[in-house]
Amino acid sequence: MNKKEVISIFRQMPSSILFKCAGSPDIYASEYFEKCFGIIDLETSERSLFTFFDQSSKEEVAVGDDPFSLIESGLEVNGYFRLQTSSRTMNCFVDGNVVTTTTDDWIVLYIKTDITGLLDLSQKESKINQHITFNQLLTNFSSKLINANVNELDSIIDQALAAFGAFCDVDRCYLFEFNDDGVLMSNTHEWVAAGVIPYINKLQNIPIDTMPFFMSHITNGLFKVDDVSALPESASLEKKSFEEQRIFSLLCVRIMVDGTMYGFIGCDIIGAPYSWKAFDIEYLRRIGEMLGNTLQNLHNRKALQKMQIELLDANKQLERLANIDGLTGLANRRLFDATIKSDMERSKQNDIPISLLLIDVDYFKQYNDYYGHVAGDNVLKSVAETLSNSCLGNDDLVARYGGEEFAIILPNTDSDALECIAARILRNVSQLSIAHEKSKIKGILTVSIGMACFNSRQSTKHNSVEKEHYNATSFIEDVDSALYRAKNSGRNCATF
């Protein structure tokens, strides 16, 4: 039996096999193998185009470590590989041995693919087992996605695509997302099988209007193409793109989030047409629904978080408005009363001084009557800004006490420092040079200041009352009396 007769016999065997003559580089395939891989009219010269990849690392098996070389060197081969042909690539279980004829030794590899497995088992049993396996896979990722946060989501999506791609034995599996305007789409996640070129970096910000045929189908939920070459003329743009990526078959399902299309999940086959089965569509739909539900939950969580932040901001704004004087932007009387009480208690507990100023705009009623209320409001704003600029402490509080009166709380400030601050305020207000023809002091605006300092370590007329009985009310009464003395002393001065 010559070599040609041996090849003919092997070619007709009802098994999916690859074979070669020992010592020869030429590899041949059985007709059954060609059927499994969708190979049609394979030329003899192309029968050497078989590449083995490691399923885990996705790296091409090194020369000398491929199944043919291992068996030819006397080793056993019994394991999983990913086999790439000129038509398509599939996961395979490879078992091999040496067959001796009268003239030559032949290395024969028995290639069992998922398709072969389906052919070998009864249709009913294979579908049940496949369905159970897929549901276990889906349950695993569903449990991971239930409480997934934004930082975990990318990793879990990548894992889900990889598991689905390997399970259904496709060449690529990917997720596309639309931008907020719905005019661009980008490939955000991609899994590729061993030996397949990734395209994720090239598929960014693609204008949706460049794929009208695809969009007209995916918006309805599904885009299924068994054979890209059979696409109609109306899909010429899509056909060109698919052919550039060597895509022969593809399947995509939409993902809905908050009632709108968020994107789509898809997979494709490279090198040969493939007729998508009902279970392929069902499995991809369920993966898409799982991702859609997860993205919807994240969307709801983000929306709730946004509402909570907006509510907190609104409450802060309301609190700010409740404590701020609308005209001058200073603290109002409400905030002043609360602050003086807390600062006073802290001063007594820590034995540190605290000072208080009460400032009154001299002859403000006369100014208001003569220049008008708008001018009067502007004066109060100018004085308020000057008072704020005259105080340097981080804990100081400048407040509008009422009408034309202002108050300043100065924690950790003793009487000497207080006098310096009061003198600075008198000087800064005078330097505003605001004309005041109705003032009985001089022709510009001035202020009068009452000063009070509480220091539990000293004994002065301001804290001669027992420490535990001296409170914020007592402090305010002292500074109010001091302001009264300043006014009776001719105004435009500061008095304890």
Contact 370, 385 (CB under 8 A): no
The pLDDT, as a whole number, for residue 124 is: 44
The pLDDT, as a whole number, for residue 483 is: 95
Contact 247, 240 (CB under 8 A): no
The pLDDT, as a whole number, for residue 461 is: 47
DSSP state at residue 331: B
Q: How many helices and strands, by DSSP H and E, does the chain display?
A: 14, 17
The tokens describing 403, both together, are 């009408």
- Which has the closest alpha carbon to 392: 376, 375, 373, 410? 410
Residues with pLDDT less than 50, the chain: 43-47, 115-125, 459-465
335-363 as b/e: b if 16+ CB within 10 A: bbbebbeebbeebbeeebbbbbbbbbbbb
What domains can be seen in the chain, in order of their start residue?
3-120 (3.30.450.20), 123-301 (3.30.450.40), 333-495 (3.30.70.270)
The pLDDT, as a whole number, for residue 225 is: 95
Contact 495, 489 (CB under 8 A): yes
The pLDDT, as a whole number, for residue 476 is: 93
One-letter amino acid at 440 equals K
The pLDDT, as a whole number, for residue 49 is: 73
What are 186's strand-pairing partners? 177
The tokens describing 30, both together, are 């059985």
- Which has the closest alpha carbon to 187: 150, 145, 157? 157
The pLDDT, as a whole number, for residue 118 is: 40
Spatial strand order in the sheet of 206-207: 206-207, 184-192, 172-178, 260-270, 247-257, 222-225
The pLDDT, as a whole number, for residue 140 is: 66
47-86 as b/e: b if 16+ CB within 10 A: beebbbbbeeeeebbeeeebbbebbbeeeebeeebbbbbb
Distance of alpha carbon 254 from the chain centroid: 21
Supply the DSSP string of 417-444, one letter for each residue.
HHHHHHHHHHHHHHTT--B-TT-SS-SB
One-letter amino acid at 233 equals E
Place of tokens 């109609």: 232
End-to-end CA, the chain: 126
The pLDDT, as a whole number, for residue 303 is: 75
One-letter-per-residue 3-state SS of 25-80: CCCEECHHHHHHCCCCCCCHHHCCCCEEECCCCCCECCCCCCHHHHHHCCCCCEEE
**Checking phi first, is residue 76 left (phi over 0); if not, alpha (psi -120 to 50) or beta?**
beta
The Cα–Cα gap between 208 and 186 comes to: 10
